[in-house]
Amino acid sequence: MPDSAIRRPVPLHVVIVTLDNHLSGAAERAAARFAADDSGITIGFHAAADWDRGTGSLDRCIADIGRADIVIATMLFLDDHIRAVLPALTARREACAAMVGLMSGSEIVRLTRLGDYRMDKPASGPLALLKRLRGSAKPGASSGAGQMRMLRRLPKILRFIPGTAQDVRAYFLTLQYWLAGSDDNVVGMIQALAGRYAGHAVRAAAPHDYPEVGVYHPAIPGRIADRADALPGVGGSRGT
């Protein structure tokens, strides 16, 4: 088959801007998996915690945002961090395939653009569901565990609502992937956004859920379970 007939993957650069480096390892391993698959997907990971160390990391982050096809900005709460990248994010918003602002200051979250879903528009319809996931100081407010249960249910509900609700569903799925930030979930998060908004022919696995409190054993399927009785027994053992 001539080289001209071989379908080359379309290059796609995904930029993740977040508070710290706790998922940098997962992002590096995801990038290695994409490179091994020859998918054309590359990842730029930038932590705001590095910007004040005089290493040029902020300049590299801003330059990377300027060439990103998909931008994921998350956990940017501090005013200094927001002001540092807000102009670059704003300038890139309409030029990239998708931009997602998660768990950040309102200036960052409002930049979210997923298809026809834009966070800077007045809240209506499915968008109002976002308010249910916001914290509250009032007595009787939803617990964090309750909010996580809702987060897992919402994509299943929104799946059956046409129109912009599908973009809202993509937002919640991105949040779900990020919060359970394993290697597989970082890969799935990028595949889901690339497939829906950048035209990449990739299929993303659903987010993997992990128990907040559980047990680990290498013999358990998946190595993690949420029940003690999932631990394998030792044949012939007797307590003393």
* 217 found inside a domain: no
| pLDDT-based confidence at residue 21 (cuts at 50, 70, 90) | very high
β partners of residue 118:
113
Supply the pTM of this predicted model.
0.79
Instruction: Tell me the per-residue pLDDT of 126-155, one tens digit each, with 9 for 90 and over.
Output: 556 555 554 444 544 444 555 556 666 666
Residue 5 DSSP label: G
- Give me the pLDDT at residue 137, please: 43
β partners of residue 225:
215
Is residue 220 within a helix (H) or strand (E), and if so which, with residue range? none
The domain in which residue 167 lies consists of 3-209
* 203 found inside a domain: yes
Instruction: Tell me the per-residue pLDDT of 150-205, one tens digit each, with 9 for 90 and over.
Output: 666 666 666 656 567 788 889 989 999 998 889 999 999 999 999 999 988 888 88
220, two tokens: 């358990």
CA distance 91 to 165: 26
Question: Contact, 184 vs 207, CB < 8 A?
Answer: no
Number of domains in the chain: 1
